Amino acid sequence: MPLLDHFHPPLSERRPWESFYTTWASALADALNQDILPPGYIALEQVHLGAALEIDVATFPDSTASPSPGQGGTATVPRTVWTPATAPLVFPAVFPPSVTVEILSTEGGRTLVAAIELVSPGNKDRPTKRRLFAAKCATYLSRGVGLVVLDVVTSRQGNLHNELADLFQLDAVLRMPVAESLYTAAYRPLRTGDTEKVETGLTPLTIGQPLPKVPLSLGVEWCVPLDLEESYCEACRRRQVDEVATRAVG
């Protein structure tokens, strides 16, 4: 199936991008786990949508708690609830949506070795968010984590690879044309002695054309093929996207 525009009608109204991205991330993780990753690795999707960052602390009745003195038990000292003073400083913050597939090595604990980032409109809608996304990518690479960035957002302009290039102060030859706002980038960080470098593959994307197969680096040792078209078609099937596209054409 050719790449469709998920950020303008009719798809944006009938199949919101948040739902489709969640499905696409799941399809990517499923494909990696079923057919691609070697033993000892697992892919897990991580989706954080919405403007609010919430940390929930649930309190449950303790069935093993000691009985009260009236019930023949021993009295216990109640816990003191501590309330901190009002923070002296409060500053505005930005928590953009995040849709990521993390690839973990399960040998000797869980170690992040690769990540697939699906760019959302919130990653591109203003300079601060674009810089935050670039900083996130730079953090992956500095830790030796392989990275694939997939940008199919048509409702916002801007090239996040170029934001990363700005962060690393790269030459113009290592940047993409400003007009290239749809693309996929595959990054493979390498260290050889005192030399550090990042192998990079950049592929422009076009609405109406198939998605490519790109290399996904699992650290230094492994590199596996990531078939974006296959996972995209599966996500479209699960969300019945073709029905909406067919009606729009008809």
pTM of the model: 0.84
In this prediction, residue 74 carries a pLDDT of 59
Distance CA 202, CA 161 (A): 9
Question: What's the confidence (pLDDT) of residue 49?
Answer: 78
Q: Which of 51-55, 87-91, 223-227, 229-233 has the lowest mean pLDDT?
A: 51-55
> pLDDT tens digits for 23-41?
999 999 999 999 899 999 9
Q: Left, alpha or beta for 40 (phi > 0: left; psi -120 to 50: alpha)?
A: left
Nearby residues of 182 by Cβ (< 8 Å), 6 or more positions away? 151, 152, 153, 154, 204, 205, 206, 207
* Separation CA 157–CA 118 (nearest Å): 15
Per-domain residue ranges of the chain: 11-47+95-249
Q: What is the CA radius of gyration of the chain?
A: 23
Q: Which of 12-26, 54-68, 106-120, 232-246 has the lowest mean pLDDT?
A: 54-68
Window from 16-30, 72-86, 87-101, 176-190 with minimum mean pLDDT: 72-86
Higher pLDDT residue, 220 or 112?
Answer: 112
Q: Please give the residue that has the higher pLDDT: either 66 or 53.
A: 66
pLDDT in tens, 128-165: 999 999 999 999 999 999 999 999 999 999 999 999 99
pLDDT at 167 over 90: yes
State residue 206's pLDDT score: 98
The rounded distance, in Å, linking the Cα atoms of 179 and 44 is 33
Instruction: Categorize the per-residue pLDDT at 248 as very low, low, confident or very high, splitting at 50, 70 and 90.
Output: low
Query: On the CB side of 119, how many CA atoms lie within 13 Å of its CA?
Result: 31
Closest CA to 222 of 188, 185, 173: 188
